[in-house]
Amino acid sequence: MSSSRHSRVTDTSDTYFATQMTPRQVEERVAAHLIDRKFLEPDDLKIALGQKGEPAGAEPFLARCASNRLITAGQSRRIREELPELMRTVVPGYVLEKKIGRGSTSVVYLATQTCLNRHVALKILDGNASAREGACAAFLESNSRAAGLSHPTLVAIYHAGIAAGRPFCAMDLVLVPTLDQILGSQGPLETVILKRVATQALELLTYLESKGVVHRDIKPGNLFLDAMGNLRVGDLGLALWSSDSREQRIQERGLAMGTPHYMSPEQIQGDKIIDSRSDLYSLGATLFHLATGSTPFSGSTPSEVQDRHLSSPIPDIRQLRPDLPQDLVDLFKRLMAKDPTRRGKCIENLERWRTASTRPLTPLPTPAIPTTAEPVIVATAVEPPSGLSVWLPWLACWAMGALLLASLVAHALRK
């Protein structure tokens, strides 16, 4: 994917990470650039950098450099022309193109990784989160561990580090809608798509179980679905790893980590033993939401929702979705059992699901990549795929085959 062919976004609004830097950080960024360009020597910074109480930022810095004759008027003019691009490349090795998402503690950008000339998703922890004690180290450690995992469903992590005082990670660019977005635009999923999601999610959870990893945040907002029905799962920020120290597990004991509408009872209670069966419960709650359009339990506050997960009976999914096949109903009931021992392990559920499913699903073909001059990027703003669109390639192939057969028969009759 060549960035030279890509029409780079020139917007410099406050959606960019650079404009979220403090004036002092901007000044230091420009100073480093001038040293790289050999316009300044490191010793010159004693004069050029603003002292306490003096204005800080790119313009005050350049003005001090010019007034102290550290740079010429022509050099100052050239640096000013370079500022927009400089401020958009605050993460060394990456050029930020546009903001494509935001979470509670981070912003995600479409970026170009210059060394490999490819597009990536660049996730940067915001200023408030970065300032918390231990946040940077935890962010880097989490992404370092995630980079060691390899599964077709997982969003791959390529690189992690710290730039301008904020941790970042570069990951696989997945610009397709989340299941949460699809629910919002199209409502409950069709049975065939539900089965594909269930199968692929169970395969991933089985893999994570084998690696001693508990995701702890399985929900529609963390699941992505492309037009061919292929599932991708991201955000291991809350994951629990078997390698976590005993002290860390003790520190987390009693803390409810996750999203209330999809948390297991043991996760809500902050039990000392949280394993992959907790993810199975979250998957059950997710499948309920995807099938019916509403979460299993609701409430006016997060604590009220959590209380219902702990004590209320599991809702009858057939009352909201009478057309669901029995294998999906049974899977949902088993996954959402309040007692973890009744859920079983991930591998057991996957094998049982494959055996019980009345219509085993075969993988759909990967769509061909268009060979155009411009790189094709699927934007999150486009209309999420409908259930019918998943089968359109198959229908097109069938129609072409039927036409070919009819042509051969007509040719044979003419002979």
Q: Measure the CA–CA gap between 202 and 188, rounded to whole angstroms.
A: 20
Residue 134, classed as helix, strand or coil, is coil
Q: Residue length, the chain?
A: 415
Distance CA 193, CA 387 (A): 7
The CA distance from 121 to 159, in Å, is: 11
Distance CA 131, CA 141 (A): 16
Phi, psi values for residue 9, rounded to 5° = -70, 130
* DSSP H helical ranges for 108-190: 127-131, 135-147, 179-186
Does residue 226 carry a catalytic annotation?
no
Given a contact cutoff of 8 angstroms between Cβ atoms, the answer to whether 343 and 331 are in contact is no
In whole angstroms, give the CA distance from residue 176 to residue 380: 5
Residue with tokens 């036409």: 403
Beta bridge partners of 107: 102, 124
> Considering 217, 226, 235, 279, which one is annotated as catalytic?
217
Any idea what DSSP says for residue 154?
B
DSSP string, 271-326: -S---HHHHHHHHHHHHHHHHHSS-SS--SSHHHHHHHHHHSPPP-HHHH-TT--H
Residue among 236, 330, 322 at smallest CA distance from 279: 236
Q: How far apart are the first and last CA of the chain?
A: 51
Residue whose entry in the numeric block shows the structure tokens 């809350």: 238
**Which residues are designated catalytic?**
217
